Amino acid sequence: MISEVFITCAVTGSGDAFERSPHVPVTPDQIARSAIEATRAGAAVVHIHVRDPTTRRGSRDPALYRAVVERIREADVNPIINLTAGMGNGLVLGDAESPLPPNPAGTDMAGARERLVHVEELRPEICTLDCGSMNWGAGSQYVMVNTAGTLRAMAAHVKELGVRPELEVFDAGQLVLVRDLIKEGLIDDPALIQLCLGIRYGAPDDPTTLMALVHQLPPQAIYSIFSIGRMQLPYAALAPLVGANVRVGLEDNIYLSRGRLATNAELTQRAVEILERMGIRVMSPDQVRRKLALKFRSEAQS
């Protein structure tokens, strides 16, 4: 058990949650405002995707990222900005008998450098690297594709940029790649890891699986955990008991309680309440910066 944790708020994601909740932010102004509100509620880190304001679907347009980041950096709060680098890895195959050519509707595959254009331009303190490939969704032909070669190239470039990578781990085998990246000098110790549970065809969100993942983490790793849907807030309570930090937010869950749609600020505040009632101290952005030895703090405050 640990006595202090930091909270990451995953603000919007790239999925279809906007169809089920009006609180899921879509435009750059909405995303930035929601991130700022979550920071005021207690989040130290805001994890940012962007969406096309017209289609409301996930986008990797650097101009949209720039608009969000500039608005956050102009605010009277100073969260750690964590930009996704997970877009550009979506492959939708044809049907089971004719997988090729890929279906252009939903396929978005980009090279390692192209997936990091916004990171190179904006120099956030953290960006994410998805550490493996996996099927996504029952009956779907969609595959999240992150080859070992692409991830090595992305990790090397992120290191050159001086940005701290957060390694997104969706199942046990992906921790093998994490250890390889550390051994090869592509990831600095201590590794920053996010254990992602409850996603169909990834690691399930039962405690046995969680502890199996925790026991396979690299030594000295700093890690967070989350589960999707109704298990998000229970995992906020579970996190410090297994030495982990906390992630909440509308990317992973749209409800505060049964039938009660949430905002990012409400999910963050509920996590703060849970943790403080357990006697856990919630860390501020600057405390987390010191803990993680983050760079680009001056840019984040400009």
Cα–Cα dist 135/201, whole Å: 6
**242, 12 in Cβ contact below 8 A?**
no
Ordered DSSP codes for 197-231: ES-TTS---SHHHHHHHHHTSPTT-EEEEEE-GGG
The two three-digit tokens of residue 199, written as one number: 């996603």
| Tokens 């493996």 -> residue | 132
Q: Which two tokens stand for residue 153?
A: 């190239």
Report the alpha-carbon distance of residue 300 to residue 28 in Å, rounded.
17
Give the domain ranges of the chain: 4-301
Rounded CA gap, 39 and 55, in Å? 27
Residues 6+ apart with CB under 8 A from 14: 49, 51, 57, 58, 59, 84, 86, 87
pTM of the predicted protein model: 0.95
CATH homologous superfamily of domain 4-301?
A: Aldolase class I (3.20.20.70)
The burial class, CB within 10 Å (0-12 / 13-18 / 19+), for 189 is exposed
Are 66 and 81 in contact by the 8 Å Cβ rule? The answer is no
Distance of CA 128 to the CA centre of its chain: 6
Q: Rounded to whole angstroms, how far apart are CA atoms 235 and 209?
A: 13
pLDDT tens for the chain, residues 1 to 302: 899 999 999 999 999 999 999 999 999 999 999 999 999 999 999 999 999 999 999 999 999 999 999 999 999 999 999 999 999 999 999 999 999 999 999 899 999 999 999 999 999 999 999 999 999 877 789 999 999 999 999 999 999 999 999 999 999 999 999 999 999 999 998 999 999 999 999 999 999 999 999 999 999 999 999 999 999 999 999 999 999 999 999 999 999 999 999 999 999 999 999 999 999 999 999 999 999 999 865 443 43
